[in-house]
Each structure stands twice: as structure tokens, then as C-alpha cells.
Amino acid sequence: MVKEVADLAMDGTFYELPELGHVSVARHRADDVNRLLLDIIQTQEG
């Protein structure tokens, strides 16, 4: 459903980390999530 919302938003972008479910994002691979968020923030600032 998240991808559908991103597709409908005027400037929406869908980001996905393979093999990562909603619980894994918060508990198991925080470093991967933090790297992706940092990359997204830096890309948007440029």
C-alpha cells in the first residue's frame, strides 16, 4: 500500500530495503535503515 500512496503523490518516491519487513526496520537492521535515510536526506538537499 505504501508504494500505491507514493505513486499517487505528486512528488512521492517509494524506497524499499529488500528482505525487510515493517518490524525488521525498527529492530533488526537499524544501520541499513539509517544509511538509506541519510542518503535520501542528502539527495533531497542537493
Establish if 23 belongs to a structural domain. Answer: yes
Q: Which of 13, 46, 11, 16 is nearest to 33 (CA)?
A: 16
Residue 42 grid coordinates: 542528502
d(CA 29, CA 45) in angstroms, rounded, equals 25
Establish if 38 belongs to a structural domain. Answer: yes
Say if CB 17 and CB 29 are below 8 A apart: yes
Cut 0.75: pTM above it:
no
Establish if 7 belongs to a structural domain. Answer: no
Establish if 2 belongs to a structural domain. Answer: no
For residue 32, the enclosing domain spans 14-45
- pLDDT, residue 36, reads 86
Establish if 22 belongs to a structural domain. Answer: yes
Dmax over Cα atoms in the chain, in whole Å?
32
Establish if 5 belongs to a structural domain. Answer: no
Give the three-class secondary structure for 18: coil
Say if CB 38 and CB 26 are below 8 A apart: no
Per-residue pLDDT tens digits of the chain, which is 46 residues long: 667 887 888 887 878 777 776 666 566 778 888 888 899 899 887 6
Structural domains counted in the chain: 1
